[in-house]
Amino acid sequence: MAAAAGIVVAGILLASIYLGVRLPPALLMSVAAALSVGAATAVLTRYALDRPRDKPRGNELLGKRLRDVKDLVAAFPRGSGAVQLSIKADTAIDELEVVKYPANYAAKDIIVTLKDGGKGNGPAAVFNPVTLKRLFVALKNQANFLHVVLIDKHDEFVGYIPGFRAKSEFTGGNAEGQIVRYIIDVFADHARSVNLRQIDGLSNTDIISDEARLAEARARLEGGFHRLVVLHGGRHRKPVGLLHSEQLLSMTKPVSG
């Protein structure tokens, strides 16, 4: 309103000058004051409209969904900068490009997805531990080998193993035995996925939907979990990344002042 009044007064002043009407000094001072108030009001209004709104912080985030908070979930590698290896029991490991030409993949993030074919009755029918050892030995020197994800024949999430532990557990003298315990036996009985926690992995119950609220996620992580696998829409078949307790608790820490 003040800005509009200033414009009106300025119009009157210009009209009087054009018509040759002399205005008293007191009126001229009033006109100047009106113009100043109008200009200041306009500037303050524009600043209020253009000023970026503060991002929600601390407890304000607790009502939001995981998928709606930027940089909260550490997404699994995707796109041109990543290598997504889908490995089945009958995959020819030695024919994989990343195995034949490892130097070509030194700058790419690598995620290995092991898929259970569901054939046969015993665990030996799923994967050959000697074959899997060759895969992990080939990936051992890849600095960006980050994740191993286990899925069943229906593409549903079974378990997770961090890449650095796959390198250490599945490439040494007892590699075959470790592969049987933490991969083949897990596929044979998904309840055994809890054993993956022994090697910093996550079981098929260490999960949360990306539709969950941050309050729910914080309650679970404060209960002793350090990480959770995030599933798209809560569906077991679409793991999309990891939720780390440090990141979540830092973002939802109460803001003082």
Q: What is the residue-wise DSSP string for 107-127? A: TSEEEEEEE----SSSGGGT-
CA dist 178 and 166 (Å) reads 10
Chain centroid to Cα 256, Å, comes to 26
**Angle formed by the axes of helices 25-50 and 2-19, nearest 10°:** 140
- For 59-79, the pLDDT digits (tens) are 788 899 999 999 999 999 988
Question: Tokens in use for 155?
Answer: 């593409």
CA separation (Å) from 34 to 15, 18, 22, 45, 106?
16, 20, 19, 16, 68
CA dist 30 and 23 (Å) reads 11
CA dist 102 and 200 (Å) reads 26
Token pair 């796959």 is found at 166
Half-sphere exposure (CA, 13 Å, Cβ side) for 225?
23
The burial class, CB within 10 Å (0-12 / 13-18 / 19+), for 52 is: exposed
- For 153-197, the pLDDT digits (tens) are 888 999 999 999 999 999 999 999 999 999 999 999 999 999 999
What residue ranges of the chain have pLDDT lower than 50?
Answer: 2, 48, 54, 120-124
CA dist 55 and 204 (Å) reads 34
Token pair 């939001």 is found at 64
CA dist 186 and 89 (Å) reads 14
Tell whether the torsion through CA atoms of 32, 36, 39 and 41 is positive or negative: negative
Nearest to 166 by CA among 191, 203, 192, 141: 141
* Ordered strands of the 109-115 beta sheet: 82-87, 109-115, 145-151, 157-162
Specify the pTM. Answer: 0.74
Residues 6+ apart with CB under 8 A from 35: 6, 9, 10
CA dist 107 and 88 (Å) reads 25
Question: Tokens in use for 188?
Answer: 């044979």
